[in-house]
Chain A
């Protein structure tokens, strides 16, 4: 009897445990819902993991954005102004530039401190000095570290390349060695001397690669520095766990007094409600790595993330034909923001091949493409057909310019094909089209093949993994390849350099286009300061890039972003670094809106 009783008791205990486990799980789930409205937490979803928290390795947008929550640079883009305008961040003002455009002198802000960390005496972050920038730039140039942003400064600063080359073969790099073009004139004055005029230099100083780090922290953590970010930025991270799919930042208690801007371009005037308020506006930032579109979309709909791009798969159910948001979503307080992306997609010719020296052939192929069908099938008709290489939003883009080789014209394409020596495509070999291995890239390739067959050109689509494609481009083993380019900084030079002969692969000019006139004009324009004359040169280059058809242009993509009503001051931008400090959460509105979700 007692044994029976014991057995039953055990069963009951097991049952209770099971029930508690299930209810416990549900309770934990519901607790997290309450936490959503307790404090101002910005919830962000990103699609890829962060490589690490060292500015010199932040060469993808995901890593760059995370690095920029903690670290800062001398300059930043004015959050509420378009076109993009550089303003001082850790610099006290924009630099004094010498008449020859070679010397840049910065005064840095006084009283800025690094975040507290054991690396500093007493664990208290010390004041930022000009010497910290010298050290940080040298780290980017350090041949032992192989920083991924070295291309930014390669052959730009006097003596820096020599310093890098000198230590490439040595075991230890001497950071104390003076460099002619990079030094601290005093505690708060930083001087750069360039080896040649490079007006885009200032953009480099707004990019995370050049953000400032503290020598003590780098030396204390050594190779683990990548997991111990300590900057001067608005947010603080106790320890970065690279394998985690969630990064949680808290407001930096020692952040300097930085205010929300009080001026804005017309389109951002509505964001001036927070003008003059101290940054950051939220207590925490949570970044969730969600690589798949379904969970990202479901989390957004549940209010667990504050904004989300509209995925291709959900597009039709979310956006109506008139590019309006569906009523179901507007009723929930969700709004849509459309913004142009500074990018261009294209199909490049390999100009090393004699075949593509023939401009009539290139133009014929360009005329065979129906970009509107492409736009409809792959971009839900949201993209802008590219007329040339420079995207809208930056000087050099010609709003009213129409390329003579943009709109599909089969008769003219066939005529040009015959003129090129290949009537009806006869005598033309099979042309390979290399593309990345994603299904969308393959479908784009298949559509291209179909469109080319209409003019008698035989295309073979070849899919490659990304490294495979990169290698093929670099080693010139391609005929045509489909690819895209996104802006590193908002200057047409960043796009036009893709067609500059001396930048031939493995440089940025993967197609190997080499046009003497283009090269000469580019060499002149690329060292000019921003001016109407330079813009005129950019436009001329852009026109050549269109009419010579070195590529078959694709589209300039647009971002469609949804945001919840409680998120304030958000806009989609190509340069998101540091954006989180300007964003705000309206908790009252969030409480109300969550009930509707």
Chain B
């Protein structure tokens, strides 16, 4: 099948998915039944003012109309304004995406590259001391809760040694560096364990295949076998694992953002949930769903690049 017709067909498939996502958002919002008007008005809410605010927010419209409002939002990306802060949601997302990505993107790239390299090494030395040592070490690291890393690293590196800022964020370069390096280090430490364990398993699956034996029988060096044959064949599961994480990078890392006062989208989304700020929740859910679908499509297309045997249907 032609690549472009495949992409167009997959994009058309997204329409019912988005409609379904809208329905789920709509159902959850209406079923949970919190009254955002009463919440906005706080402790002095009166029945009359609650009714007035409900009207201003459009909550007194018929349910079908409210659902179509969500659908319209999903296809126009016109998310309107936050109920709590009265800010334009598109501005909130734009402002929050930078700080989130400033932490998640470098940590994602660093941890992925490091994890692939370490996995190749441990797979190469499978069963030997270095393999066992690193696997035990990474499993040990994974057993420690993320909060413990955050609390200790912040106390030790930022407070005790004073190498980095304790918390905060600057939007200009290079001023933002002291604020993001420690969060990046923590995120790398947090994700490298699971990454190595997964990649190692994937690579080991391939190492025992017949084609590897054949390659060795042909007299190819271990370096060539590992990098040219094994790694290339392991790329499909690795690619799936890696690319699918990308849409979540923009959502930031909630705990990290919270402890380091980074004004990212993770904190924004959680705050919206606590405040029952439906327009923001709606925007973030729709954007996440769209991003997820897009990156799945990209993954499928990339399969054909890394493995010519894969055909798009």
Contact = CB atoms under 8 A, between A and B. Distances in A.
A275 B42 CA distance: 39
B53 A146 contact: yes
B178 A29 contact: yes
Interface in B44-68: 44-47, 49-50, 52-53, 56
Contacts of B268: 243
A467 B263 contact: no
A466 B38 CA distance: 11
A290 B167 contact: yes
Contacts of B261: 245, 288-291, 295
B42 A59 contact: yes
Interface stretch (B3-11, B12-20, B80-88, B218-226): B80-88
A506 B53 CA distance: 14
A312 interface: no
Contact of B154 (A24, A146, A294, A471): A294
B112 interface: no
Contacts, number: 146
Contacts of B155: 294, 298
Contact of B49 (A32, A150, A245, A295): A150
B260 interface: yes
A314 to B, nearest CB: 12
Contact of A470 (B38, B46, B175, B263): B38
B159 interface: yes
Contacts of B263: 243-245
Interface residues of A, number: 54
A244 to B, nearest CB: 6
A292 B56 contact: no
Given A54-B86, A144-B56, A485-B43, A506 B38 contact: yes
A446 B21 CA distance: 38
Contacts of B274: 465-466
Nearest to A291: B258
A57 B86 contact: yes
10 contacts: A25-B164, A29-B164, A146-B49, A151-B46, A151-B49, A245-B263, A304-B166, A470-B39, A471-B35, A506-B45
Interface of B: 32-36, 38-47, 49-50, 52-53, 56, 81, 84-87, 91-92, 95-96, 151, 154-155, 158-159, 162-169, 174-175, 177-178, 181, 258-263, 268, 271, 274, 276
In the A-B complex, list the 8 residue pairs whose CB atoms are closest, starting with the nearest: A467-B34, A151-B44, A243-B95, A295-B167, A298-B159, A245-B261, A25-B177, A29-B178
Interface of A: 21, 24-26, 28-29, 32, 49, 51-52, 54, 57, 59-60, 143-144, 146, 148, 150-151, 154, 168, 223, 226-227, 241-246, 288-292, 294-295, 298-299, 301-302, 304, 465-468, 470-471, 474, 485, 506-508
Given A148-B41, A151-B46, A474-B38, 18 more contacts: A24-B177, A25-B164, A25-B181, A28-B178, A29-B162, A32-B178, A51-B85, A52-B86, A54-B86, A59-B41, A148-B42, A150-B49, A151-B44, A226-B86, A288-B261, A289-B261, A467-B36, A467-B39
